[in-house]
């Protein structure tokens, strides 16, 4: 009896499939409408929402089925569906905008954009903290900060606060080398420097 209840699916597999697909699609729409406010990290509120969501949609997925095989079937459907969606999104740019949205500029020329922060439900302090993790001491040092759909914040510092790159070092090396060569060529053309005025000794 126990073995039978453990493996016997109590609802039709087609119903299990439909339940899983509909819950997945509904959650995708709700999360899309909720915006990309995570900045690539979870805070305590996000964790609470995720835990509650898992509990709320549990019955919608399993229905009246408490069997092990039904749970494994639902998990397999969910993983397979997610893999299909991820591959489709990677292939078609239109699906990226549909499921994930577009990149949003949060900071431009050292100033935060209030409308963008309000629309995404972000605080200026959250953006400033995320920018500091990428090397900016203050928002005023940032030329551009863009939040991408996955929650990644890409920060571009202005030239005055940007670290030197290998290309910058090579350019500076070439400039100094050219300056030295120019001065050496000048010395070769004029080997004798003007005589210095005689110093006067006072007895």
Residue 130 pLDDT class (50, 70, 90 cuts): confident
In total, how many domains does the chain have? 2
Does residue 187 fall inside a structural domain? no
Distance CA 101, CA 28 (A): 12
pLDDT at 187 over 70: yes
Domain boundaries, position 172: 102-181
Q: Hey, is 201 helix, strand or coil?
A: coil
Mean pLDDT of 156-169: 69
* Domain shared by 60 and 106, yes or no: no
Name the token pair of 195.
């005589």
* Domain shared by 22 and 111, yes or no: no
Q: Which of 55, 72, 100 is the last residue of a domain?
A: 100
Q: Can you say whether residue 140 is alpha, beta or left, with left for phi > 0 and alpha for psi between -120 and 50 degrees? A: alpha
CATH number, domain of 121, equals: 3.30.240.20
Q: Can you say whether residue 138 is alpha, beta or left, with left for phi > 0 and alpha for psi between -120 and 50 degrees? A: beta
In this structure, is the dihedral angle defined by the CA atoms of residues 65, 66, 68 and 73, taken in order, positive or negative? positive
Look at 17-21, 43-47, 65-69 and tell me which has the smallest mean pLDDT.
43-47
Q: What percent of the chain has pLDDT above 70? A: 80
* Domain shared by 74 and 94, yes or no: yes
| DSSP state for residue 121 in the 8-state scheme | T
Instruction: Give the model confidence (pLDDT) of 139-153 as tens digits.
Output: 888 888 888 876 778
pLDDT at 80 over 90: yes
Distance CA 150, CA 41 (A): 10
Name the token pair of 169.
């070092």
Q: Hey, is 133 helix, strand or coil?
A: coil
Distance CA 135, CA 130 (A): 9
Whether the model pTM is above 0.85: no
Q: Hey, is 112 helix, strand or coil?
A: strand
Q: Which of 83, 100, 117 is the last residue of a domain?
A: 100
């Amino acid at each position: 009896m126990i073995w039978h209840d453990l493996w016997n699916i109590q609802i039709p597999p087609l119903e299990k499939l439909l339940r899983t697909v509909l819950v997945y699609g509904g959650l995708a729409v709700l999360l899309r409408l909720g915006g990309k406010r995570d900045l690539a990290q979870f805070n305590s509120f996000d964790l609470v929402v995720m835990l509650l969501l898992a509990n709320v949609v549990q019955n919608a997925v399993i229905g009246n089925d408490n069997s092990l095989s039904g749970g494994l079937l639902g998990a397999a459907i969910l993983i397979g569906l997610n893999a299909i969606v991820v591959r489709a999104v990677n292939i078609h740019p239109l699906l990226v905008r549909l499921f994930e949205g577009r990149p949003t500029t949060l900071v431009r020329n050292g100033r935060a954009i209030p409308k963008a922060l309000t629309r995404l439900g972000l605080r200026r302090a959250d953006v400033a903290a995320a920018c500091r993790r990428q090397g900016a001491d203050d928002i005023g040092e940032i030329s551009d900060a863009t939040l991408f759909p996955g929650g990644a914040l890409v920060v571009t510092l202005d030239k005055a606060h940007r670290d030197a790159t290998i290309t910058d070092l090579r350019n500076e090396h070439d400039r100094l080398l050219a300056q030295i060569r120019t001065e050496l060529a000048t010395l070769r053309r004029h080997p004798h420097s003007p005589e210095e005025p005689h110093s006067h000794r006072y007895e």
